[in-house]
């Protein structure tokens, strides 16, 4: 073991750190209001937080309740104070946030409340530790209940906490992690803004409400069955844009049909892309014999594969030849259609595709329905390509920002491991 460190129940920590049970660091640990309070809900009154308002490190006040002031008087001993920690009992048990000054005197419903002894422990530091991997692992091991797991006050009281010897060191650790959180939050806000901007741009460009320079052949607009579109645009059936092909599944009882060299796409491969539009690999593959004996069709590269069963309208552009299972309808674009434009066009039609399946217990959209489905279409491939270029560039910016956000989160996790165990000392 490295000199100056010791082994403890929370791992290796510096010799001058101590491990204390949470109850010895807190003035009180209690449960918020646990009695039915629906009759006391008001449009205005005393703020009451619930478990779902608790996020890692902060309180989400976008959806808060208010309770009658007279009713609240009965529970005045449970009022929150600035700097208290709220820990979720249900939903995501163990997730902890700090009560900010503006909510001093608020109430909470069935949450766990910890009031730290300010002379011993910094609230921000304690919150960081509880939300760390070590803290959350403790709650995983000490959850109770059947269908819906929860954490009780007894478990929380015995949480072992590594405690740096001075408040200055605790505060320095909390400040460093707070700076990392601030960076992550700013990236999340920027990412949300860019996604919203892209959605608005898609709606404008794919309907012709906004025309790109050089393509305004006729400045007028016309009313059509798909809405108002430019005079020089057409209303087209999807069957006129692409060859629509189905998928299939070889017999799972025949091992020789599987583990070959042909990519075989399932909905999981698409939904797992999490917003990325390109598909270059699949979890499973089939053999050439499996392809021959099934109803699956080869889908050439630079086509659009789209889920058409249960989850409908999830799309991707396959960068390599693939086959799909029967939960897909796939679009091999004709020569006069830009594949990226077709991708974005299909993405914006998702809700309409779902509505065509209304009333069915098992949602599925068929090839015949898609073939006659009408969409607005620029008359030239050049305009399609220009529109797709704008949207692809926006996707590229979003992808780069997502990568930056992922890296920031990874760095913060590393910082927590180093700082909350004393491997790196700031004071």
Q: Tell me the pLDDT tens digit for each residue of 97-132.
A: 999 999 999 999 999 999 999 999 999 999 999 999
pLDDT at 98: 97
Per the CB < 8 A criterion, the answer to whether 334 and 384 are in contact is no
**Domain range 234-377, CATH architecture:** Alpha-Beta Complex (3.90)
Query: In this model, does residue 148 exceed pLDDT 90?
Result: no
Q: Tell me the pLDDT tens digit for each residue of 286-337.
A: 999 999 988 888 999 999 999 998 889 999 999 999 999 999 999 999 999 9
d(CA 138, CA 144): 12
Q: Per-residue pLDDT averaged across 174-191, rounded?
A: 96
Query: Could you tell me the pLDDT band of residue 15, with boundaries at 50, 70 and 90?
Result: very high
Q: Tell me the pLDDT tens digit for each residue of 213-260.
A: 989 877 799 999 999 999 999 999 999 999 999 999 999 999 999 999
Pairing of strands 258-265, 323-324: parallel
Helix, strand, or coil (residue 406) = helix
φ, ψ (nearest 5 deg) of residue 180 = -65, -40
Per the CB < 8 A criterion, the answer to whether 17 and 11 are in contact is no
pLDDT at 295: 85
Helix, strand, or coil (residue 195) = helix
Closest CA to 262 of 272, 248, 243: 248
Per the CB < 8 A criterion, the answer to whether 303 and 339 are in contact is yes
Percent of the chain with pLDDT over 70: 97
Q: Tell me the pLDDT tens digit for each residue of 31-73.
A: 999 998 999 999 999 999 999 999 999 999 999 999 999 999 9
Beta-carbon contacts of 138 under 8 Å, excluding residues fewer than 6 positions away, are 94, 155, 159, 160
pLDDT at 362: 76
pTM of the model: 0.82
Closest CA to 316 of 364, 267, 369, 371: 267
> For the chain, what are the domain ranges?
5-164, 166-213+386-427, 234-377
Percent of the chain with pLDDT over 90: 85
Report the mean per-residue pLDDT for the chain: 93
pLDDT at 1: 76
Q: Tell me the pLDDT tens digit for each residue of 271-291.
A: 765 557 899 999 999 999 999
What is 5-164's CATH topology? Adenine-n6-DNA-methyltransferase TaqI; Chain A, domain 2 (3.90.220)
Q: Is 166-213+386-427 in the same CATH topology as 5-164?
A: no
The tokens of 320 are what? 């390599």
DSSP assignment of 95-136 equals: -EEE--GGGTT-EEBS-EEEEE-TTT--HHHHHHHHTSHHHH
d(CA 265, CA 46): 53
> Could you tell me the CATH superfamily of domain 166-213+386-427?
Bipartite methylase S protein (1.10.287.1120)
Query: In this model, does residue 147 exceed pLDDT 60?
Result: no
Sheet with strand 323-324: strands edge to edge: 284-286, 258-265, 323-324
d(CA 197, CA 113): 40
d(CA 127, CA 109): 19
pLDDT at 110: 94
């Amino acid at each position: 073991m490295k000199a100056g460190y010791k082994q403890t129940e929370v791992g290796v920590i510096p010799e001058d750190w101590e491990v204390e049970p949470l109850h010895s660091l807190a003035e009180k640990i209690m449960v918020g209001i646990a009695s039915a309070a629906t009759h006391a809900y008001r449009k205005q009154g005393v703020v009451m937080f619930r478990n779902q308002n608790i996020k890692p490190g902060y309180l989400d006040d976008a959806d808060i309740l208010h309770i009658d002031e007279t009713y609240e008087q009965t529970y005045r001993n449970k009022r929150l104070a600035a700097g208290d920690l709220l820990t979720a009992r249900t939903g995501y048990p163990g997730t902890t946030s700090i009560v900010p000054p503006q909510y001093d005197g608020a109430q909470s419903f069935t949450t766990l409340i910890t009031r730290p002894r300010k002379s011993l422990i910094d609230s921000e530091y304690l919150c960081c530790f509880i939300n760390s991997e070590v803290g959350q692992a403790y709650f995983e091991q000490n959850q109770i209940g059947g269908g819906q797991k929860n954490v009780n006050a007894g478990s929380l009281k015995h949480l072992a906490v590594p405690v740096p010897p001075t408040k200055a060191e605790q505060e320095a650790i909390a400040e460093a992690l707070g700076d990392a959180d601030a960076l992550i939050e700013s990236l999340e806000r920027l990412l949300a803004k860019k996604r919203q901007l892209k959605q608005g741009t898609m709606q404008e460009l794919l309907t012709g409400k906004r025309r790109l320079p050089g393509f305004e052949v006729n400045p007028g607009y016309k009313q059509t069955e798909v809405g108002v579109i430019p005079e020089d645009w057409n209303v087209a059936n999807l069957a006129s844009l692409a060859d629509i092909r189905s998928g299939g599944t070889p017999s799972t009882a025949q091992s020789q049909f599987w583990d070959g060299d042909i990519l075989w796409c399932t909905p999981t491969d698409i939904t797992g892309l999490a917003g990325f539009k390109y598909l270059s690999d699949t979890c499973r593959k089939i053999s050439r014999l499996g392809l021959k004996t099934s109803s699956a069709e080869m889908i050439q590269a630079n086509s659009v594969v789209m889920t058409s069963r249960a989850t409908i309208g999830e799309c991707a552009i396959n960068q390599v030849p693939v086959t799909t299972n029967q939960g897909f309808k796939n679009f091999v674009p004709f020569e006069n259609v830009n594949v990226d434009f077709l991708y974005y066009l299909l993405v914006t039609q998702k809700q309409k595709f779902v509505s065509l399946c209304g009333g069915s217990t098992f949602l599925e959209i068929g090839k015949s329905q898609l073939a006659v489905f009408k969409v607005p279409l620029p008359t030239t491939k050049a305009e399609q390509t220009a529109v797709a270029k704008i949207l692809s560039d926006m996707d590229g910016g979003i992808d780069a920002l997502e990568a930056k956000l992922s890296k920031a989160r990874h760095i913060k996790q590393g910082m927590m491991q180093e700082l909350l165990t004393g491997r790196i000392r700031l004071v």
